[in-house]
Amino acid sequence: MSTASRVARRVEEVPFLDKSDVSLLFVLPGLFVFSAFMLFPVLYLLGISFTNAAPANLFAGEGALSVLTFGEAAFVGLENYARVLFGGTFDLVLFGETLLTLPINGQFWNSFGVTWLFVATSVTLKITLSLAIALVVTGERVRGKRFMRSFIILPMGLPAIFTITVWRGIFSSAEFGLANQVLAMLGLETVSWLSNRWMAFVAYNVTEAWLAYPFMVIITVSALQDVPDELHEAAMVDGAGYVARFFHVTLPSIKKPVLFASILTAAASFQQFLIPFVFNEGGPARQNELIVVYGYREALSFSQYGRGAAISLIAVVFIGAFMWLNVKRGRLADGVNEA
Amino acid sequence: MATVTLDNLRKEFDNGRIVAVDGVSLDVEDGEFVTVVGPSGCGKSTTLRMLAGLESPTSGTIEIDGEDVTDVHARRRDVAMVFQNYALYPHKTVRQNMAFGLRMSTDLSKAEREERVRETAEMMDIEELLNDRPNELSGGQKQRVALGRAIVREPNVFLFDEPLSNLDAKLRTTMRTEIQRLQNELDITAIYVTHDQEEAMTMGDRIAILNDGVLQQTGAPTEVYRNPRNEFVGGFVGSPSMNFVDVAVEGDGGRVALTNDDGFAYELTGEAARAASGTGVTEARLGVLPENVTVAEDEDGLRATVEVVEPVGSDNYLHLDLGPDFIARVDSHVEPSNGDTIRVTFDQRDVTLFDAESGESLLWEEPTERKKAAA
Amino acid sequence: MATVTLDNLRKEFDNGRIVAVDGVSLDVEDGEFVTVVGPSGCGKSTTLRMLAGLESPTSGTIEIDGEDVTDVHARRRDVAMVFQNYALYPHKTVRQNMAFGLRMSTDLSKAEREERVRETAEMMDIEELLNDRPNELSGGQKQRVALGRAIVREPNVFLFDEPLSNLDAKLRTTMRTEIQRLQNELDITAIYVTHDQEEAMTMGDRIAILNDGVLQQTGAPTEVYRNPRNEFVGGFVGSPSMNFVDVAVEGDGGRVALTNDDGFAYELTGEAARAASGTGVTEARLGVLPENVTVAEDEDGLRATVEVVEPVGSDNYLHLDLGPDFIARVDSHVEPSNGDTIRVTFDQRDVTLFDAESGESLLWEEPTERKKAAA
Amino acid sequence: VGVQSQGDQTAQSGGESSTAGGSGESAGTAKAWYALPDTELPARKSAIKQFNQNSAHTVEGADISDMQKKTTSAIPAGQGPQTFEWAHDLAGDYMERGFIVDQGDKLNVSLDEFTDAAAEAAQYDGNVVGLPHTAETVALLYNKELVDEAPQTVADMKAVMEEHHDPSNNKYGLGMPFADPYFLSAWAHAFGGYYFDHTKEEQLGVAKPETVKGVQFAVDNFVPYMPNDPTYEPQASAFAEGNAAFAINGPWYLSTLNEKGVDYGIAKLPKPEGGDPSPFTGITLWYFSKKMGEGGPSAAAARAFAEWYVTNEELLLKNAEETGNIPVLKSLAESGDLPENVQGFAEAVQQGYPMPAHPKMNKVWDPVKAALTKGFNGKDVPKAMETAAEEIRGNWE
Amino acid sequence: MSLFDGVGRKVKEDARDVVSAPLEVARDAAYTVEGVRNGEISPAEPLKTAGATLGALVGVLLLLFPIYWILIAALSGTGGSIYSSSGLKLFPESPSLVPFLWVVGDLIIPAYSISLNIPSSDIAIVFNTPQVVFLDVSALKPGTIGRIAFGSAELFPGFGVQPIENPSTFKKFFWNSLTVAIPTVIISLCLVVPAAYALSRREFIFRRKILFVYVLMTQVGSGLGIALLIGLYTVYVQFGINDNKLALAVYYAATAVPFNTWLLKTYMDGIPVSYEEAAVVDGAPPWRVVTEVIIPLSAAGLATVFIFTFLTGWTEFVVAQTLLGTENYTLPVGLFSLISEYSIPWARFSAFALTFAAPIMLVYLFAQRYIEGGLSFSGMEG
Ligand SMILES: Nc1ncnc2c1ncn2[C@@H]1O[C@H](COP(=O)(O)OP(=O)(O)OP(=O)(O)O)[C@@H](O)[C@H]1O
Ligand SMILES: Nc1ncnc2c1ncn2[C@@H]1O[C@H](COP(=O)(O)OP(=O)(O)OP(=O)(O)O)[C@@H](O)[C@H]1O
Ligand SMILES: [Mg+2]
Ligand SMILES: [Mg+2]
């Protein structure tokens, strides 16, 4: 101990350690490791996206240096991007009639549109669901809340791919699929879930909501617990009922954390891969191909790494812009120090 | 405005493990300002919250204006409450904060609400703040807004839960006067909880002292101060509070000697002596207020050594060795040095005697005015 | 123990946009207890934190025991600090809390540390709490532990930043006495920051009054109270503080008439009149302490209407209409009713006059004792 | 201080002793990958153990969870195994990508020892890319409690299905993974159609009238009697739980059936009127992966293992009994004394049509699957097949 | 160390709470009944409470129905399936623990011989530890587990069990997962804690920029996982570090950096500066301030980061499956290796998944108050 502390004290004496910018040193390791695993692959991906990389040529060549030369893949300039964005045609169909044929890649733009739609619907669903659950498991009159809360996060402990496989079973179109059985019990028609575009879309949303709610609930619950009781009491004395209190006290007080969680979860929705892939590979007939699935399929199923990379990067640019906007607007990077 | 009656109110927490309030009965008259005081955890807040409807009593009843409201929900009681930390809605402007109660509990139109808020803001001198948010306000301003929010609703009863305890001393004095002014002006029925007995003493028409959930004494502040019903009240009220000396009681009806091993000796005569000896108590505690202890010029009186002389502006506090924390409050020109031996005395009329065991006053009688009022 | 010297200390924040402390110079003698008082935001904490080494001054120097420590790191200054919120480490027991400083700043063995902690705990009467954690303690106990933690290190200088402001009134008084007792016992050099001028008045050997980062006056408490150097000090010190009346100054060397439009009229004569007229000021503010205002039995003196009578135990405060918040502190047997017209008077020796513009006292002279001490 | 697990001792010493008695070649270690249901894993492990004990070489087996993905990423990176087990249809694609290599000149086993179909499947473009050991295909399974005798024609079968189909009481006529082109191939081929055949002039047969007719036939005759979900699991579940009269499925299904305790019979597929069902057959190979191209002891080890495995009659027969796999070793396949389970599938294999191994086939599956799904959901079959064909052509470009 | 001390104490308290919860409920009920009987509590009160609790319970059950669905499959004696073509069944048919036993496998501590060689002599002391058998699944007999009978009345026949010959390799996967998840946690804590501290307490160049990038990358980064797979895989392979658990852990830790740094920073923002100042005035050098004050006070935040990073390593599938070889399969990959091309052995698959998720729930039950407190948004107000 004494030697150690003597050494430590010696270190303390080094004058520059008192300089405030030296604190950057604390942040650098994390930043470095993160960059190494995120930024380098991103740059690599960027490189690939300008080539005709495919499994056959990408891995050719010997030694670590060939990583940097992308094997024997050839430089093709912006061709991948051009193809992704403008290859093929897109028919604008309304009421069964083709109104307009645009010279753009219909598959990509369809996928792009569906992805944003999915973000919008699934985030709405997630927020509503989690808020409802959080309110229930923090309810004043509810007993055994702690146990309920720890059961409720179970979906978080299961690997997503397992959960999604199970949900695919639930949304089986068969008469005995769980969802259909429930419908039948309610006296409703059964539904061909995954072979109908919008029904499949609904199934994606439900599953996504189920996967994401534990995280949202945890955040919402802790936000709810930070709402001062006095505010509720003041409102009660002011004559506000439950609903009024929810809108005038609860909601404004938890707005910020919930907004934060929503932004995170929106980004997660944007990048959802497993649900469409496992359910019906973005089907039926590639109609619900979310953008990451689209990129994946191009990259792996069709062995077009270059094009896949271009798609991924386009997706990343969009989600990055989305996050940037939200983070800026929600001032999430601000801390108390800047307040 | 309204009267408030608490009848045998009791509140248990934790399935009866904690008795926070134990059989409190209190009548508050129309327009009366009652302060409730007591040490931390004595059940003041709980009592107030039951009144507001934020807790429901385990037993007992609450009446407001003669109507039993024990089971009425908080939002239908028409009371206003000012919280210790103000509990202003942080995301609403001052105007919205003040209008919220009106929106919720009245049918006033938007214009009427605006009007009421404006009037009240004028009265509270917070007009320029109406568009600010609470976190832009200073402590005193927040306090004013909280008061304004309560006043604007023109409720039957005002409840205050230590509204000044977050303010600094200077501001506390100012706001205290402000609340008193409002109370005079609006003639409101108010119950004001505080742990600061100075506040309780100066603000209340009447003061109620709680300890361990039990109501100890109610009465006009000066009366409670001069004539405490038990040792707890004596020790709690006033700053500095009553001095106590443990004494043995000896003697018959006419003359009672109060002595202890530290050389303390005092003699009661007449009425007081009869009362004291009549109870048969032999171990007692003598109480005397600091301002009633005078320094004797001559050789009469008790010898006491001055431990510390504490100047407090107009007076000096002399800490004497007669008992623990025995203080004499004397004029500021009386300035003995630390360690001096002086002689002090006090009048027999100013002496209170408490049963050493139960703490009850041996000499206490119900003041006649209160007797009438309580009837 | 040690002396402390602040020389022309200045602290800017926000790149000079905020000047928190502005040229403060102060000598604290060995064993002296100096209280620093001033309104919120006046720079008290900043001064103290510079002393502790937690902020570094923009300019000026700090000496402890004659040694310039301006650039010495906080942990090498050998000062102890008691924080407003106690800052007891919540995850350590009381024992560990107290031993932490010893572990960090001394080479004592574990046994020696234990011994020191035990001794100090004994002195502070917190022996039974040694194994508890801070959140199991009451406010007063926390306060004691925080004091103990400071004392156990036997530092050169003690710094206190509003250590009592989180306690309730009763406890505040007790702890105040306790700190004074310790100070007497250990004869420590201490600088004690508070915004409560009552605390400042009763505890300090000397009191330093800050406003807007500028040192206004230092001196013995009673002296500052009786002889404020400027209007700010007069209005700040004492509770209730000095009464002010705006007056026009008229007259020559021998006789000066102080009047205003509200019918106030007072005459200065002799030395004071000469001093007052000598400055040539025509708009002034008259200051008089509440306890120096007496109710005249006869028809002499100023007519005043009683607005409120506020009983405070031994005395009554009479709120008069002579000026805003004009208070007379009178014996409690003087009990006029609200609205009564009475006559009050005060001695010319008790009158202070301030320049209405600069606020400086027109009659002030440096007290002779302090002059010597400062030299 | 030393700590040693007592149980391990014997295993270790046993492992080492076997190296002593080897042939002239230097002993190598090879990695072998396979993807098996865990019911079949123990048998595989003991087979490898047996090999390791009897050979100078060592084979390290590994059960891989997603073979295609793993091989695609690992082999080009030089991380792959020496040999891996998969159906023959990967051959073209993997050969072109350079994932597998020709080892024909180094083998000690002649392809003549296998059935013709198997021998053909083991080669691609004249290269011997692996050694075959089993064949698999789909056959008709019937629930013996509901059906007395296997129907010979689709019309017969339809009558039985009609009788048993009652979804409101959870009874179904048939369980068949309809949306899977592999399972549906028997019908697509029944009237002379084909999905893809690179030997034909018109390589893509998806939209040809014969193919469309076959698919349409399946839609008309089977879909009405099936659970409403065309994917594998629910279809399999219906028969396995005894709720369907028939199933069309492969040998891998038998372990599930045994576990559930269904009393089933296996027969070849019934004939449609005017056609002959002809299912795709898959031949499982031990592929020679890129690593073997490097030669050396590890390649020798892998080769030795594959040769040993595919010619080991005892092992193959046991496999056949336990898992319903059809041996392709002529000596067994033509011996006629295969177990009863296998017999049904073996007959079906005779009806069969080996899956194309051409790389272009890769891009056929998904669009056809989409088309079949549409057909199952009542969409226009010819149109769906036409769309699929277009998409395939687009992807081929 | 006092941090572990504190956590230990809290866990002990929690355990006591959990155990005494039923007692407390009973007490509560008795008190309420007594109150109602005395007319002190209006009967509507307990009814409202019961109603609310019941409602919440129904909600929770509905929400967790898929899990129950899995559980039914896992308890099935006939292989199970989540596709029940025989209609909706709320209870497993012929319930069996076999799938779970198959997952858990033998719990046997093998006998070891420990030899102590005495230096410079030939004498060695050998201890033979006994073999400890908790569960030997190959020696199970039917009717031994879960049978309930009163005298002759057979209430529950017990779970069907047979000897299990080839139990799963759950334990190996478990070990692999642990050896991935724990390094993940350690590495990310090493990266996150100093950074969070510096970002929360120090002022330095680029501070706000870094913070901004971190918040931004919180999600972009994690979702990029799949898009980046190719790049990542290539790089790993070229450096020959795929199929390396530690390398995988480093990757997980890297992805966890932005979110967790930000999270911990927000938490640390809520710790009053005066604790640190007190320590400084007490003479503590900066590193002691951090170890003695900041870290123990951040316990809740650290617990949250711990759980989140642990979960990353514990449940991530796609990258692990791509990078790891069979020997190093983690639990999710192991779980998926149960699936073969055409069939899913639902009973075992589900039992495996549930066994795998159960510890998370338990940990959460105990860590709950830390996590809920650890997600402090005090830094987010305004
Ligand atoms: N919700 C509750 N659950 C359990 N015990 C409670 C609750 N509220 C109050 N108590 C207990 O009831 C007693 C009285 O509390 P109360 O808040 O009324 O005290 P108080 O007089 O307002 O004290 P203070 O001056 O500190 O505000 C205390 O012992 C407290 O611990
Ligand atoms: N770190 C800081 N950055 C910017 N301004 C500061 C900082 N610390 C203090 N100030 C400003 O300096 C001035 C003096 O602050 P200080 O805390 O010393 O006041 P104080 O006298 O202690 O007040 P209080 O009685 O409220 O504690 C205030 O205007 C405050 O806003
Ligand atoms: Mg209270
Ligand atoms: Mg301060």
Whole-angstrom Cα distance, residue B360 to residue B276? 12
Residue with tokens 């019908």: D187
Residues 6+ apart with CB under 8 A from A302: D363, D395
Same-domain status, C51 and C196:
yes
Mean pLDDT taken over chain E:
78
Pocket test for ligand 2, best of C10, C35, C46, C162 (most atoms within 8 A of CB): C46
Region D129-155 average pLDDT: 88
Q: In this model, does residue D12 exceed pLDDT 50?
A: no
Same-domain status, C203 and C315:
no
CA-based nearest residue to C93, from B239, E2, E45, B218 = E2
ipTM, 2 decimals? 0.80
Name the least confident of B188-197, C312-321, E131-140.
E131-140
Question: Closest ligand 2 atom, CA of B168?
Answer: 25
Whole-angstrom Cα distance, residue E291 to residue E297? 10
Number of domains in chain B: 3
Higher pLDDT, C324 or C148: C148
Half-sphere CA count of B109, side-chain side, radius 13 A: 2
Q: Is the CB of B85 inside a 6 Å radius of any atom of ligand 1? A: no
Q: What is the pLDDT of residue A109?
A: 85
Spatial strand order of the sheet with C214-219 comes to: C79-82, C157-161, C189-194, C33-37, C206-211, C214-219
Q: In this model, does residue B62 exceed pLDDT 90?
A: yes
The Cα of B170 is separated from the nearest Cα of chain A by a number of Å equal to 26
Gyration radius from chain D CA atoms: 22
Residues 6+ apart with CB under 8 A from A124: none
Name the least confident of A60-64, A226-230, D216-220.
A60-64
Q: What is the pLDDT of residues E208-232, one digit of tens each?
A: 788 778 877 776 655 555 556 766 7
Q: In this model, does residue E116 exceed pLDDT 80?
A: no
Question: Closest ligand 1 atom, CA of B84?
Answer: 27
Q: How confident is the model at residue B371 (pLDDT cuts 50, 70, 90)?
A: very low
Residue owning the nearest CA to atom 14 of ligand 2: C43
Q: What is the pLDDT of residues C154-191, one digit of tens each?
A: 888 999 988 887 776 667 777 888 888 888 888 889 99
Q: What is the pLDDT of residues A187-205, one digit of tens each?
A: 888 888 888 888 889 999 9
> Is residue B238 a contact partner of residue B373, using CB atoms and an 8 Å limit?
no
Q: What is the pLDDT of residue C207?
A: 93
Q: What is the pLDDT of residues E134-175, one digit of tens each?
A: 666 666 665 556 566 666 666 666 565 666 666 777 888 889
Q: What is the pLDDT of residue A15?
A: 45
Mutate which of D231, D374, D390, D392 to disrupt the A interface (most A C-beta within 10 Å)? D231
Q: Which two tokens stand for residue A178?
A: 């769980």
Q: In this model, does residue B119 exceed pLDDT 80?
A: yes
Q: What is the pLDDT of residues B226-240, one digit of tens each?
A: 889 999 998 888 777
3-state SS track over A293-333: HHHHHHHHHCCCHHHHHHHHHHHHHHHHHHHHHHHHHHCCC
Q: In this model, does residue B57 exceed pLDDT 70?
A: yes
Q: In this model, does residue E39 exceed pLDDT 60?
A: yes
For residue A219, the CA-to-ligand 1 centroid distance in Å is: 29
Q: What is the pLDDT of residue C6?
A: 93
Range of the domain at C260: 239-291+346-375
User: Nearest by CB to A241, which of B75, B83, B92?
Assistant: B75
CATH number of the structural domain spanning residue B308: 2.40.50.140
Highest mean pLDDT among C33-47, C319-333, D323-337: C33-47
Phi, psi (degrees; rounded to nearest 5) at C20 = -85, -40
> Is residue D380 a contact partner of residue D223, using CB atoms and an 8 Å limit?
no
The Cα of B94 is separated from the nearest Cα of chain A by a number of Å equal to 14
Q: What is the pLDDT of residue B211?
A: 92
Ligand nearest the Cα atom of residue B21: 1
Same-domain status, C195 and C330:
no
Same-domain status, B103 and B195:
yes
CATH number of the structural domain spanning residue C101: 3.40.50.300
Contact D72 A55 (CB under 8 A): yes
Q: What is the pLDDT of residue E142?
A: 59
Q: What is the pLDDT of residue D24?
A: 46
Q: How confident is the model at residue D120 (pLDDT cuts 50, 70, 90)?
A: confident
Region E327-344 average pLDDT: 82
Q: What is the pLDDT of residue A117?
A: 92
Same-domain status, C43 and C107:
yes
- The last residue of one of the domains, among B234, B250, B276, is B234
Q: In this model, does residue C62 exceed pLDDT 90?
A: yes
CATH number of the structural domain spanning residue C368: 2.40.50.100
Q: In this model, does residue D305 exceed pLDDT 80?
A: yes
Assign E356 to helix, strand or coil: helix
Q: What is the pLDDT of residue A206?
A: 93
Mean pLDDT taken over chain D:
83
Q: Is the CB of B336 inside a 6 Å radius of any atom of ligand 1? A: no
Region E313-339 average pLDDT: 83
Which residues on chain B are in Cβ contact (under 8 Å) with E40? Answer: 58-59
DSSP bridge pairs for D136: D282
Region D305-323 average pLDDT: 86
Contact D259 E79 (CB under 8 A): yes
Same-domain status, B16 and B128:
yes
Q: Which residues of A42-81 are buried (b: 16+ CB within 10 A; e: fewer)?
A: bebbebbbbbbbbbbbbbeeeeeebbeebbebeebeebbb
Q: What is the pLDDT of residues D75-108, one digit of tens each?
A: 877 778 899 999 888 888 888 878 888 888 888 8
pTM of the model: 0.81
Q: Is the CB of B42 inside a 6 Å radius of any atom of ligand 1? A: yes
Same-domain status, C248 and C361:
yes
Question: Closest ligand 1 atom, CA of B46?
Answer: 18
Whole-angstrom Cα distance, residue A269 to residue A210? 12
Q: How confident is the model at residue A53 (pLDDT cuts 50, 70, 90)?
A: confident
Same-domain status, C197 and C274:
no
Residues 6+ apart with CB under 8 A from B356: B246, B281, B283, B284, B285
Which chains lie within 8 Å of chain A at 3 or more CB pairs, if any?
B, D, E
Gyration radius from chain B CA atoms: 24
Which residues on chain B are in Cβ contact (under 8 Å) with E382? Answer: 135
Same-domain status, B172 and B266:
no
DSSP-derived pairing of the beta strands C67-68 and C59-64: antiparallel
Q: Which two tokens stand for residue C141?
A: 């106990």
Pocket test for ligand 1, best of B15, B42, B199 (most atoms within 8 A of CB): B42
Q: Is the dihedral of CA A58, A61, A64, A70 positive or negative?
A: negative
Q: What is the pLDDT of residues B120-136, one digit of tens each?
A: 998 888 889 999 998 88
Highest mean pLDDT among A59-73, B138-152, E320-334: B138-152
Q: Which two tokens stand for residue E36?
A: 């109602």
Q: Is the CB of C13 inside a 6 Å radius of any atom of ligand 2? A: yes
Q: What is the pLDDT of residues C215-274, one digit of tens each?
A: 999 999 888 888 899 999 988 887 778 899 988 888 876 788 888 888 888 888 877 788
Same-domain status, B49 and B173:
yes
Q: In this model, does residue D19 exceed pLDDT 50?
A: no
Q: How confident is the model at residue A61 (pLDDT cuts 50, 70, 90)?
A: low
Same-domain status, B27 and B162:
yes
Chain-centre distance for alpha carbon B359: 19
Same-domain status, B185 and B78:
yes
User: Nearest by CB to A195, which of D97, D170, D377?
Assistant: D377
Q: What is the pLDDT of residues B153-194, one digit of tens each?
A: 888 899 999 888 777 666 777 788 888 888 888 888 999 998
Chain-centre distance for alpha carbon A23: 32
Q: Which two tokens stand for residue C316?
A: 């009554």
